[in-house]
Structure 1
C-alpha cells in the first residue's frame, strides 16, 4: 500500500463574491507533477439576478484546464471559436497549448434565476514537446461521461479520462492522464492499483474517507510517497465525493507566471510578447 506523505488543507481565497478554496498551490505544497493548480469554488447559493462567475476574457499558454461542474453551470467561449454551456455533472477540458483567450462565465439563465454553484478547476501541465500544440476545447455533459458502479453500487466512478474498472473515460487526453470524480455511499470501498512511479492527485471534495488507512476530511489534498501501488478508500460518511487522478510526472522545469506555464523565463517573456502581439487569436463578443 502506498503511504501518505502529507494532508494539505485547502486555503480560503475568495474571488469577488465567489467562495473559493485554493487546494494547490498552498503554503505547504507547490505542485504535484504534472498537476499544477486546483481551485474549489463553492458550494454556495446565488440569488436571483446575480452577476455569475467573474472569469471574463483572459489568456493561457502551456497547459490544460479541466473544469468539473458539480452544481450550477459554465458558459465557455474562446478565441478558437468554441462555445458551450456545460451544466451540473459535466466537465470542460481545454488545451491552451500555444495560446488562446477564453472566458468562463455563468449562463444568462443562471444569472437570472440563481441557484446552487460548486465548481472545481484543475490545471494540468503539458510537457515541453506539447507546450505549443494547437489549442482545443471539449465540453461534455454528465450524460456523456461513463459511470462505473462498484461495491454493489456504493461507489460510482465518473470516468473523465483514462481507464477505470475496464471502462475508458470520455476524454482521450494528449498525455497519459487518468481523471475521475468518485461518489461514495457510507461504507463504500474502492481498491485500485496505481503504479508507484505515477503521481496521484487525490482531493476530497465532500464528506470523510479513510484513504490508505488514514482518515481525511473535505477540502484536503492527499500527497503520497512513491512507495507502493495499492490505493484504498472507504467512505466514513454518506455522499462523500473524491476527485482522483494519476499521471506519470514529466520531471521538467516548471516556470509559471500568471496565466502562462512554460519551461523557462525566456518562454514566459515570449508568451507575453506573443499575447500582446495578438497571436492568441481575436476575441469576439
Structure 2
C-alpha cells in the first residue's frame, strides 16, 4: 500500500459563539479549501476547544432550531450537554459519550449545558460534526443513537500505547457502535507519549485529523500541534501517527457522496427547490413542536 500524505495543516480560526454555550473554531466549511464538496460526507465541523465556563444558574446553550438533510454528531471530551428534539430524542451527553442524531426529513433540536455542570462550571470541550446523507435518505424518518462511552468498542495498543475508540466504521476487525448510511470511519485515538499507530483508509475517501490534546507527528516527518486540523490527499491509503506528548486525536474518513449540495443554514439538500421546500415545511410546522 502507498502512503497517504498530508495536503494541508489548518490552524484554528478565531473562535465564535454558537448561542451562548458553545465557543467554537469552525474548520468545515471554511476558506481553507475545506468546503462541503471537498470534505463530503463531512459537511460541517465546529470544535469547542477546551474552554472554562464559570458557574451559572441558567444553563447556556442553543435554543430551538431546525435541521434537515443530514446527521449531527456531537462528541463530548469535557463537560456535559443536555439535549432534546421534536422526534422524541433527548438525554445527556457526558464526557466520552457521543450523540448521533439523524435529522433526515426534519427535526427541531435544542442543546444546553447540563444543569449540574452549569451550576458548578468547568472545562468544556466538544466536537460537532455534520454528516451528509445521500439523496435517497434525506427525507427518511429521523432517528437517534445515544452512544455512551462504555458502548464504544476500543482497541488497546501494544506496549501501553493507549487505545483507539471506534465510534463508527472499523479499526482492523473491530467495528464501531454507530450505524451509518454511507461508509464513515470515526475514531478517537487516545495515545500515550511515544506511541505509534497506523491507519489505513481507501485512497478516495476524504480523510482528516483533529488534534484534541497534545502534539503528534504524522508519517514521521510533520509535527502537528493541539487544536490543528490535518487534511490528507486523496491518494495512498496508509498513514502513521506518533504521539510526541500524550495526545487525543479525532480521526475521520468517509466515502464521498458524489451528488450536488444545496445548503443554507440548518438545511442541506440537493437542489434549490428542495431548500425552498425545507423552509416552507419548517414554517408550516411539519418539523414537529419543541418548547424552548
Task: Name the TM-score class by shorter chain.
Answer: over 0.9
- Counterpart of 1:249 in structure 2 is 256
Q: Which among 1, 18, 23 is matched to residue 19 of structure 1? A: 23
Structure 2: distance between partners of 1:179 and 1:282:
31
**Structure 1 residues 255 and 249, CA, compared in 2 at 3 Å: closer, same or farther?**
same
Structure 1: distance between partners of 2:58 and 2:8:
38
Q: 1:135-174 counterparts in 2 under 5 A? A: 135-174=142-181
Q: What is the Cα deviation at residue 230 of structure 1?
A: 0.9
Q: Is the 8 A contact 2:215 2:225 kept in 1?
A: yes
Structure 2: distance between partners of 1:251 and 1:270:
22
- Counterpart of 1:217 in structure 2 is 225
Structure 1: distance between partners of 2:27 and 2:73:
15
- Counterpart of 1:227 in structure 2 is 235
| SS of aligned partner of 2:16 | coil
- Counterpart of 1:204 in structure 2 is 211
| SS of aligned partner of 1:153 | coil
Cα displacement string for residues 68-117 of structure 1 (whole angstroms, at most 9, x for unaligned residues): 01011111100011121121010100001010001111122112221221
Q: Which moved more, 1:90-99 or 1:135-144?
A: 135-144
Structure 1-normalised TM-score? 0.95
Q: Which among 65, 89, 94 is matched to residue 96 of structure 2? A: 89
| SS of aligned partner of 1:272 | helix
Cα displacement string for residues 99-144 of structure 1 (whole angstroms, at most 9, x for unaligned residues): 0001111122112221221111011111111111111111122122
Structure 1: distance between partners of 2:4 and 2:80:
36
Q: Which among 36, 48, 54 is matched to residue 41 of structure 1? A: 48
Cα displacement string for residues 11-44 of structure 1 (whole angstroms, at most 9, x for unaligned residues): 1232146432112222212131111111111312
Structure 1: distance between partners of 2:273 and 2:12:
32
Q: Which moved more, 1:198-207 or 1:255-264?
A: 198-207
Q: Is the 8 A contact 2:64 2:291 kept in 1?
A: no
Q: 1:54-93 counterparts in 2 under 5 A? A: 54-93=61-100
Q: Structure 1 unaligned runs (5+)? A: none
Q: Which among 188, 200, 217 is matched to residue 181 of structure 1? A: 188
**Structure 1 residues 209 and 55, CA, compared in 2 at 3 Å: closer, same or farther?**
same
| SS of aligned partner of 1:274 | helix
Structure 2-normalised TM-score? 0.93
Q: What is the Cα deviation at residue 8 of structure 1?
A: 1.6
- Counterpart of 1:7 in structure 2 is 9
Q: Is the 8 A contact 2:211 2:249 kept in 1?
A: yes
Q: What is the Cα deviation at residue 284 of structure 1?
A: 4.3
**Structure 1 residues 17 and 80, CA, compared in 2 at 3 Å: closer, same or farther?**
closer
**Structure 1 residues 75 and 184, CA, compared in 2 at 3 Å: closer, same or farther?**
same
| SS of aligned partner of 2:274 | helix
- Counterpart of 1:130 in structure 2 is 137
Cα displacement string for residues 178-233 of structure 1 (whole angstroms, at most 9, x for unaligned residues): 11111111111111221112111321122211112322112222111122011211
Q: Is the 8 A contact 1:50 1:114 kept in 2?
A: no
Structure 1: distance between partners of 2:156 and 2:241:
15
Q: Structure 2 unaligned runs (5+)? A: none
